[in-house]
Amino acid sequence: MNWYRRLDRAAIVLGLVSIMSAAFVFVHGTFQLVQIGTVGLVVALVLGLLAIAAGWLAERTLLIAAGVGFLLAATVQLVLLAGGGSGFLGGNASTFSLWLGLGAGLIAIGLVPRPEAIEETSQA
Amino acid sequence: MTGTDYAAGTDSTADTHSTARAVPVLPSRLNRALLAVVRIGVGLLWLQNVGWKTPPNFGRGDPPDGLYLSASYAVSDPVLPPFAWLMERFVLPNFTFFGWMVLLVEAALGAFLVIGLATRFWALIGIAQTVVIALSVLNAPHEWYWSYLLMLLVHVALFATAAGRYGGLDGLLRPEWELSRSWAARWLVRVS
């Protein structure tokens, strides 16, 4: 498999992880790995789908956008936690951790230069 | 058999053994997958358990609970007297700051071990954090000291095997980092 396709596939996996995390809306107690509220569910689904689309279309800009989106959501969740509650996102520090990982991962993948970007740079 | 037998290389049996010893275990697809499972599992351990670190008080109150209660065991049931002294004099009186540090470090451990990015670095941080936790709660009631020893050992294993290279982003991105001359890429090569 082409190395760039492997990068895109990794982005798709990260998007799928986000979508699967939405299931924790229904899981409580011992096996609740992350706390996902109603707005958090929307964040997980929308950004997860964006990451999958970015990987599917091999769109580096979309990849970075999804990564930045996750990092923003993680930051907002952290600020809400500092206020003493889950806030409108309905998550906890585990949610912050998950979104931090997804954001960092997508940005790390998105920062890898692609052949078309390299060609554009050399032409300029 | 001594080390000299391998070094001499004149004996065909020694050659065979030397070759057998050099064959790494990890090229097996199953072993790579299992190592990824271990890494992700350890990441999920941190990811889930950072959830009960609740700012802004982190359990400081009457009665104390959560992270503050766990940290206070270092003083009420000391493991290492100098560590208990440090906790009593510096950490517990400034607990908001240390609570945030714990939250950020453990959230990052969960995040980066799950995706397998800079895994060896985070395995070292995991070792350090496990030592701190163990020194706090090892003598607390109903604790099983092997759980902390196991936590420590599994991070050592993640470090020793560079576990992020198997099913993680380290393995995927290392070729790119190795070609780059930026300081960030050089650092990532070292810690992945």
Residue B114, SS3?
helix
Is there a domain that residue B22 lies in?
no
- Residues in chain B closer than 8 A to A84 (CB atoms): 55-56
Q: Place B17 in a pLDDT band, splitting at 50, 70 and 90.
A: low
Mean pLDDT of chain B: 90
Report the gap between the CA of B60 and the closest CA in chain A (Å): 13
Number of domain units in chain B: 1
Out of A6, A14, A93, name the one closest to residue B50 (CB).
Answer: A93
Complex ipTM: 0.92
* pTM for the predicted model, two decimal places: 0.89
A24-68: pLDDT as tens digits: 999 999 999 999 999 999 999 999 999 999 999 999 999 999 999
Report the gap between the CA of A121 and the closest CA in chain B (Å): 16
Which CA distances in Å does B186 have to B18, B141, B179, B189?
Answer: 33, 45, 9, 5
pLDDT at B19: 53
Positive or negative, the CA dihedral B77, B81, B84, B85 is: positive
- Residues in chain B closer than 8 A to A32 (CB atoms): 48
Is there a domain that residue B20 lies in?
no
pLDDT at A114: 84
In which domain, by residue range, is B41 found?
30-191
Percent of chain B past pLDDT 90, that is, above it, reads 85
Spell out a b/e string for B26-63, using b for 16 or more CB atoms within 10 Å of the CB, else e.
eeeeeebeebbebbbebbbbbbbbbbebbbebbbbeee
- How many other CB atoms sit within 10 Å of the CB of residue B11? 13
A62-102: pLDDT as tens digits: 999 999 999 999 999 999 999 998 999 999 999 999 999 99
Interface of B with A (CB under 8 A): 43-44, 46-48, 50-51, 53-56, 103, 106-108, 110-112, 114-115, 117, 169, 172-173, 175-176
- How many other CB atoms sit within 10 Å of the CB of residue A116? 10
The size of chain B, in residues, is 192
Q: State which residue of chain B sits closest to A5, comparing Cα positions.
A: B172
Distance (Å, whole) CA A26 – CA A38: 11
Pair of tokens at residue B168: 């993680």
Q: Which residues contact B152 (CB under 8 A, 6 or more apart)?
A: B127, B130, B131, B134
Is there a domain that residue B17 lies in?
no
